[in-house]
């Protein structure tokens, strides 16, 4: 059940199943860049950032009481580049306009947020497939996804419900005081990444991440390469 509050959607409960039927999607921003994290680092990608999250309102006054209180992303409203309230056809038109027309092969879109599974549904997935896009998502794992997504990256958060226990890529932002990455190692994912938490302790977190991975070689390091390169 979702509450419309201050221009975004918030959930009373982080647990949910994606059974939506949305006519207009609230999009914070859409932009063409290089994927900066995880398995697809360096891959040209269009990012579609959906407004809203079920773990934090995105409003600073709510941060201290949020389930995820360290988020570094602005997902509130629809005022970012190419942001707005769109139909499936309008989103498809924007994506086709952003992807280089001289090299249409292998187009890739990343649905992110916030939490994209509050809005992403089979209708939009089918439309994006119909115009040739491979679809990836970045999700906190608290909502079961609709069918048809090509690449699922799950980044679980401490204190949040965790229902999506299978996918392509598991990415732990590290360290989190109540998350031990080792308890996720037997889940049905193909790739396991540790990503140092950004912020004032970034250097220490990079060191801790390196030390953890060296002791647990099932994991690989994910750096936010887009920030290093000055990309969005």
Active site amino acids: 47, 53, 68, 71-73, 138, 226
Among residues 157, 154, 136, the alpha carbon closest in space to that of 55 is found at 157
Residue 207, phi then psi, degrees to nearest 5? -65, -45
- Report the 3 state secondary structure along 55-124: CCCCCHHHHHHCCCCCCCCCCCCCCCCCCEEECHHHHHHHHHHHCCCCCCCCCEEEEECCCHHHCCCHHH
């Amino acid at each position: 059940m979702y509450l419309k509050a201050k221009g975004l959607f918030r959930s009373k409960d982080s647990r949910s199943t994606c059974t939506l039927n949305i006519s207009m999607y609230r999009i914070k921003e859409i932009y063409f860049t290089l994927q900066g994290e995880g398995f697809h680092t360096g891959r040209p990608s269009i990012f579609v950032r959906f407004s809203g999250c079920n773990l934090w309102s995105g409003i600073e006054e709510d941060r201290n009481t949020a389930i995820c209180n360290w988020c570094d992303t602005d997902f509130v409203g629809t005022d970012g580049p190419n942001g707005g309230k769109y139909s499936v056809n309008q989103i498809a038109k924007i994506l086709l306009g952003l992807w280089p027309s001289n090299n249409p092969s292998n187009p890739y879109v990343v649905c992110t947020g916030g939490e994209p599974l509050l809005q992403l549904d089979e209708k939009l997935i089918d439309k994006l497939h119909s115009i040739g896009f491979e679809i990836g998502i970045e999700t906190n794992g608290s909502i079961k996804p609709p069918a048809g997504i090509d690449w699922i990256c799950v980044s679980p958060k401490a204190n949040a419900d965790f229902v999506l226990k299978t996918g392509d890529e598991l990415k732990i932002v590290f360290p989190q005081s109540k998350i031990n990455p080792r308890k996720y190692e037997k889940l049905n994912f193909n790739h396991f990444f540790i990503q140092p938490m950004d912020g004032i302790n970034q250097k220490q977190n990079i060191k801790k991440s390196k030390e953890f991975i060296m002791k647990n070689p099932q994991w690989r390091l994910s750096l936010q390469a887009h920030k290093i390169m000055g990309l969005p």
